[in-house]
Structure 1
Amino acid sequence: MGATSPFKNHHYNNHNHQSHFVTKKLIPWTLYALLPIALLRLYFNPLDFLLSSSDHLLPTTSPISSSSSISISNPPPLIPPHQHQESEKARHESAPPCDYATGKWVQDKRGPMYNATTCTTIKEGQNCFAHGRPDSEYLYWRWEPNQSHCQIPRFDPNTFLQLISNKHLAFVGDSLARNQLESLLCMLATLSPPNLVYTGGEDNKFRRWNFPSHNVSISVYWSPFLVQGVERSSSGPSHNHLFLDRVNQKWAEDLDKMDMIVLSFGHWYLNPAVFFEGDSVLGCHYCPGLNHTEIGFFDAVRKALRTSLNAIRGRRRVANTKGISVVVTTFSPAHFVGEWDKNGACSKTKPFGEGEKMLEGMDAEMRKVEVEEVEMANKEENGERYLGYFGAVTLDVTKLALMRPDGHPGPYMHPFPFANGVSERIQNDCVHWCLPGPIDTWNEILLQVIKKWDLGQSGREE
């Protein structure tokens, strides 16, 4: 018996045989006709020919059985290694700018990168979980920008440290600057624990850490007004005295040692203050009983930020040193329900939904002032940005912070505040952020800003 035909269930008629005969004649002639075309293409475009041919030769599903194995070496890169960074830069420059400021909070099952056990630098007042906060849903959200090409990857501590290797990053401002710094330390500690190498000032308000693996220094400078000022106290003036044309030398004198500065301030300007420019009083904010003009605090915030940015630019030009990058973290709204000093609380356990809370009033105006001053400082550089002196962006977190009333310590700024029952009056913190918590997103966006700076891109990150 002959071999069984694989087409045993098919019946061929005479037409089938004629078609088969014609096919046998046509195939050789077709191949002879295509051969010269293939040879010409191979001669003029050998790489394109081989790549397109391989697309047809490689199967979409491997036909190799489980008892066989094959090893295919990686082909050499089509772009030489020294050109890879230039190609990456060109790709990013051609992409539209990212707006990280608009979006929504979406649930994320992954949760935070760290906890109170793995991070030892969490300030006690922000250690919500260790202080007995019973709910944990606030830990399982991530910020999703509206622009699909601007999704924020999970923070990569290795990439962050590589990008700022051999550099000094300084956080300058109030306790929210410190809050963001401590979040960053915790995220970086998942890769490499920091060494505290300097402490100074009252309550160690000036500190510096070092990551020896990458020779990175990260500092915090307490300067709640950015400019020179005298804080009100029980033994001193009843109002803050602020000199809006004089930068605070506590941080400015170290400018030559800094490569990147994160400025974060604003909340202290809500307190009663008298504002000076030179030896003259400009006016005041909430100063009944004093013979000064009430001017509010928005103009004072604007002048203070302008003075600080000009000081950074001026110091770099005079010193003729390497360039400096400035990030201004925009105003982070508080979420007190009621007055902060009259039993105000923040008891929500979920983010606001879209349209549930609008950015308006004081929060919107503070953000507007900061964005405008950064843009003005860049314009005054007259095209010299990124050429060795100065470059600034706003880290626009105001709206995404506004949407997270659930992320504050609230009563858990103290350990187990209800251990002895619910008291009639309990202090709440609805300004700072739990660690871990929403403020970790600030640093995820900061990493994206630094990536673009590394590729030589400009533009404001929102």
Structure 2
Amino acid sequence: MDTIINPFKDQTHSIPLKKLLLLIIYAFLPIIIIFHLIVYPFPISFSQSKHSLNINTSSSTSSKEIGNDNVEISCDYSNGSWVYDKLGPLYTKCNTIKEGQDCMAHGRPDNNYLYYRWKPKNCELPRFDPKKFLQIFKNKNIAFVGDSLARNQLESLLCMLSTFSDDHELVFSHGDDNKFRKWYFHSYNMNVSIYWSPFLVDGIEKSDKKNYNTMFLDSIDEKWGMDLDQMDLVVLSVGHWFLHSAVYYYGDKVLGCHYCSGLNYTEVGFYDVYGKAFETTFKTIVERRGKNNVGVLDVVVTTFTPAHFEGEWDKYGACPKTKPYDVEERKNLEWMDAEMRERAIEQVRIADKEVAGQKRVRFEAVDVTKLAYLRPDGHPGPYMHPFPFAKGIEERVQNDCVHWCLPGAIDTWNEILLQVIKRMERTI
């Protein structure tokens, strides 16, 4: 403790007026300081770098210092609501949009669907940062693997990246409907590819000659599996093809089928099969990447996204909504959507647990099922074709209530993808 000195001690002679005033000021100085702090408290300043991610969650979180970033590495992006945001999309035009998803160019009359932004309940989802994404994946290869929704998400990503870097070009295209394509970003030496593989595992798609799919659940589809050693990030997105008629094999043995009237096989549904396809895929990835030294592979699963058909798919008004559902009105997912989501999430959890502690493969999920469920307004509907009502409204019209308009709600998938990747990078 500091020694307190009494200014009057041992002073028997008179005190000059000037010194007396000074002593009075000293005596009252603490009182003056306390009064000032009460009335005018000192301002508190928090400095953050421009890439700082400030996330608050309802659950306990842990944070980690990364350079100048103080990042909380836990955030539930799946729980929230859609809010109106006048800022709008990151892009409006893009030459990689598939024609069927270019809703504005096809004459969709309303545009409110462009101005809704996903707001997680207990944290923040930053707008997509194309520069940051390109920096992370400089000199790397990204692959989207799955069905047409994987392609939908890929095309969204390309459009978002092109707002910062337009020096990319299509360097490879093969197959009907451009099912296998690759783009190269020159400035970043980065490849982005799409692999058509609607089951992930080996399979034969239905045709005019055979109206059911055939899946071989014990082996992955080598059309993409053969390139595993070249990938740094693989985004898997499948689901809707599992709803069709199918026969399932494991080796040479038939396990059963789904919706296969006329065939002498046991009906087994598709939920367990969906989970098994992910299980086989993940095990194969771990086996192959665990035996080489080609670097870390990040595996991200985009969860099942619900369709929004109201009645028949080819009837006028099949998906007529023009705004999101209110989260309080639609608290629970439909049974099928919830089950498909859970099967994928469960397999990601199992795979992530099995590779814990090793650095060759990492598994994560971009859980978009609930936020997609709340966006019945986000599909092309009849505007999958240019100006479908130019000659008047007809009762029968093709509708797309599965895929997503670009720009639109699916851009949020990639906003979440970037945050998931940043968290994975920071928790190595």
Q: TM-score, normalised by structure 1?
A: 0.79
Shift of 1:216: 1.1
The equivalences for 1:112-261 within 5 A come to 112-116=89-93, 119-147=94-122, 150-193=123-166, 194-235=168-209, 237-261=210-234
In structure 2, distance between residues paired with 1:320 and 1:130: 47
* Structure 1: gaps spanning 5 or more residues: 1-17, 32-58, 61-76, 78-85, 458-462
Shift of 1:297: 0.3
- Residue 305 of structure 2 corresponds to 332
1:370 aligns with 2:344: yes
Cα offsets for 1:312-337 (capped at 9, x unmatched): 11110123331100000000000000
Q: Structure 1's 250 and 420: CA in aligned 2 closer, same or farther, altered over 3 A?
A: same
Letter aligned with residue 155 of structure 2: E
Pick from 65, 86, 91: which aligns with 1:87? 65
In structure 1, distance between residues paired with 2:17 and 2:310: 86
Shift of 1:378: 1.1
Q: Is the 8 A contact 1:89 1:455 kept in 2?
A: no
In structure 2, distance between residues paired with 1:294 and 1:110: 50
Q: Is the 8 A contact 2:315 2:399 kept in 1?
A: no
Identity over aligned pairs, percent: 57
Q: Is the 8 A contact 2:314 2:397 kept in 1?
A: no
Shift of 1:344: 6.8
Shift of 1:128: 0.2
In structure 2, distance between residues paired with 1:343 and 1:370: 34
Letter aligned with residue 22 of structure 2: K
Larger proportion of helix:
1
Pick from 3, 21, 29: which aligns with 1:23? 21
SS of the residue 2:377 aligns to:
helix
Bigger CA radius of gyration: 1
Pick from 338, 351, 364: which aligns with 1:393? 364
Q: Is the 8 A contact 1:126 1:433 kept in 2?
A: yes
The equivalences for 1:401-440 within 5 A come to 401-440=372-411
Q: Is the 8 A contact 1:227 1:245 kept in 2?
A: yes
Give the RMSD, CA atoms, in angstroms.
2.4
In structure 2, distance between residues paired with 1:343 and 1:240: 30
Q: Structure 1's 134 and 22: CA in aligned 2 closer, same or farther, altered over 3 A?
A: same
SS of the residue 2:392 aligns to:
coil
Q: Structure 1's 344 and 304: CA in aligned 2 closer, same or farther, altered over 3 A?
A: farther
Q: TM-score, normalised by structure 2?
A: 0.85
Shift of 1:343: 6.0
SS of the residue 1:213 aligns to:
helix
Shift of 1:254: 0.4
Cα offsets for 1:9-51 (capped at 9, x unmatched): xxxxxxxxx99874323457999xxxxxxxxxxxxxxxxxxxx
Letter aligned with residue 437 of structure 1: G
Letter aligned with residue 252 of structure 2: D
Cα offsets for 1:344-399 (capped at 9, x unmatched): 71000000002222213000000000000000011112432xx2x11001100000
Cα offsets for 1:108-130 (capped at 9, x unmatched): 000111112xx111000000000
1:99 aligns with 2:63: no
Letter aligned with residue 363 of structure 1: D
In structure 2, distance between residues paired with 1:422 and 1:29: 89
Q: Is the 8 A contact 1:168 1:218 kept in 2?
A: yes
* Structure 2: gaps spanning 5 or more residues: 1-15, 30-41, 44-48, 50-63
1:290 aligns with 2:263: yes
Shift of 1:101: 0.3
SS of the residue 1:346 aligns to:
coil
Cα offsets for 1:154-211 (capped at 9, x unmatched): 1111011001111101000000000000000000001112211111122221100011
Shift of 1:424: 2.0
Shift of 1:233: 0.6
Q: Is the 8 A contact 1:89 1:456 kept in 2?
A: no
Shift of 1:137: 0.5
Letter aligned with residue 265 of structure 1: V
In structure 2, distance between residues paired with 1:89 and 1:272: 52
In structure 1, distance between residues paired with 2:17 and 2:274: 88
Misfit runs of 4+, over 3 Å = 18-22, 25-31, 89-93, 341-344
In structure 1, distance between residues paired with 2:152 and 2:20: 81
Q: Is the 8 A contact 2:84 2:117 kept in 1?
A: yes
Q: Is the 8 A contact 1:284 1:293 kept in 2?
A: yes
- Residue 80 of structure 1 corresponds to none
In structure 2, distance between residues paired with 1:308 and 1:339: 34
In structure 2, distance between residues paired with 1:164 and 1:405: 33
Q: Structure 1's 89 and 327: CA in aligned 2 closer, same or farther, altered over 3 A?
A: farther
Letter aligned with residue 99 of structure 1: D
Shift of 1:215: 1.2
SS of the residue 1:305 aligns to:
helix
In structure 2, distance between residues paired with 1:129 and 1:322: 42
Number of aligned residue pairs: give it.
382
